[in-house]
Amino acid sequence: MVKAIDTSVLLSGVRLQNPVIPASGTFGYGEEFAPLYDLNILGAISTKGVTREPRFGNPTPRIAETPSGMINSVGLKNPGIEAVIREEFPRLRQHYHQPIVANICGFSIEEYAENCRRISEETDAEILEVNISCPNVQHGGMSFGASPEGAAAVTAAVRAVTKKPVYMKLSPNVTDIAAIAKACEEAGADGISLINTLLAMRIDLRKRKPILANTMGGLSGPAVFPVALRMVWQVYNAVKLPIIGLGGISSARDVIEMMLAGATAVQVGAGNLVQPFACRDIIRELPQVMEEYGISSLSEIIGAAHQ
């Protein structure tokens, strides 16, 4: 029997009491969940993605259900970086005193760099998570994360403006995820987050038209877990950086499996939208599952399935 259970992990010098992080875009800025349970049980919080200007997001409908998941096309709705710095982060700190992962978005390399500089200098976020699934408006709308060159360019620009750990959040809608992760590592990234959502769509049979106003959106939920696990496995083999694994995690067993594949920490996304207590319940369940599988320390199983 395992006598002492250690759920803590270390992300680029930032200690998390457990590896469970609500994923960006599924937890708001934290305040919405504060009345439900003590947010301080979380390992960290990844805040809703922020852009330079306020964004209303895409037209509705923005959500479509799927078997074992959902498709969203919210469109990075957020109040803009000024409001996030002035209002959202101070409001979150009234409830929450554990590490914050600030999710940063942009539509140009300059915007990414400026947003990261501002968040780094004017908030106490411990880690910057840079979402390079955003469309590059200067180059025909292809996402920055679609090529090693694009990913490296954003990474280098962000690295130049902050001393805080930089984690690049990668899109799964690519041919070679490992090559893109490697390019981020060579450009100065401190870690990798993956995966973002998979491009998908649904059609309304009666209306004979796409359900989403934007036609396509991002698939998340348990259906994508095996894909996310495979990509975490591949990236772990390609780089020597810590990985935050996400995509369909809905139980403590999923957390263990993702860490065995190579993740140091995990994010729970769509699960929060289905069950607002998802992260709390996974954290409560972790010690029991660790004991069941003879695990005394989570940090010791990172990438263990590769051995």
pLDDT at 143: 87
To the nearest whole number, what is the mean pLDDT of the chain? 95
Q: pLDDT tens across 83-102, in order?
A: 999 999 999 999 999 999 99
Q: Is the dihedral of CA 58, 59, 60, 64 positive or negative?
A: negative
Q: pLDDT tens across 174-224, in order?
A: 999 999 999 999 999 999 999 999 999 999 999 999 999 999 999 999 999
Band of the pLDDT at 307, cuts 50, 70, 90?
Answer: confident
Res 144 pLDDT > 90: yes
pLDDT at 139: 65
pLDDT at 201: 96
User: What pTM was computed for the model?
Assistant: 0.96
Q: Which residue has the tokens 């469109």?
A: 75
Res 140 pLDDT > 90: no
Res 260 pLDDT > 60: yes
Looking at the DSSP assignment, which residues form a beta bridge with residue 200? 217
pLDDT at 137: 59
Nearest in space to 169 (alpha carbons), one of 144, 199, 201, 187: 144
Gap between the Cα atoms of 186 and 190, Å rounded: 10
Which one is predicted more confidently, 31 or 8? 8
Set out the domains of the chain in order of their start, with CATH numbers.
9-306 (3.20.20.70)
pLDDT at 136: 66
Q: List the catalytic residues.
A: 134
Q: Which residue has the tokens 């942009």?
A: 106
pLDDT > 90: percent of the chain: 94
pLDDT at 141: 61
Q: Which two tokens mark 65?
A: 């259900």
pLDDT at 2: 43
Residues 6 or more apart whose Cβ sits within 8 Å of residue 231: 170, 172, 177, 194, 195, 247
For residues 144-173, give the mean pLDDT. Answer: 97
